[in-house]
Structure 1
């Protein structure tokens, strides 16, 4: 299983903030997308879910989710791809969602913890 997920690990690591930022908004967006039940979502669906999961760091803030989704769907290692339906996105590969769920966890203080690849999928 590890071998099947190596490329998705690389893709995810290229997009996760390696340094801890004030709120880690990009990591919050990635985490939130990974927790959704569907594989396709809109800017608004991500924003609503993010505000629900991270109320302390989002209350009264402009989140600019569309900018994060555009960045995460571009470059050489995108996590998402834009659908023909306008402002909707989907995972480039369902295995990316699995990696997000394995590697990212949220603490009570809303901090996102990024596990190393081997830690994330140990059996």
Structure 2
């Protein structure tokens, strides 16, 4: 480190004064460390089956505004009838939800998410 100074305040606290460029380098190193830790945690969660990756074609469909329920259902290779049955609703009601014609109650959305083995947040 270049030109680091230590001072003691009147209350006895020790302070460090350093050039701004050095301070910025320290911040960047700290952010890099935090990013590396986040990647490590994600990889561990992925290995433990707590996270999953989906192909970009499916993610892009959701990003582009397509029904998340429909996209996840197709990603899981489920028919509308299969998902509706597992969620405890009619296939017609599921179709209306997927098309945006009707909103499901929170309980319905929770049941759909459980049937798809995803969190409710994944459908938001």
TM category, shorter: under 0.3
Q: TM-score, normalised by structure 1?
A: 0.25
Q: TM-score, normalised by structure 2?
A: 0.24
Q: Which has the higher contact order (CA 8 A, sep 6+)?
A: 1
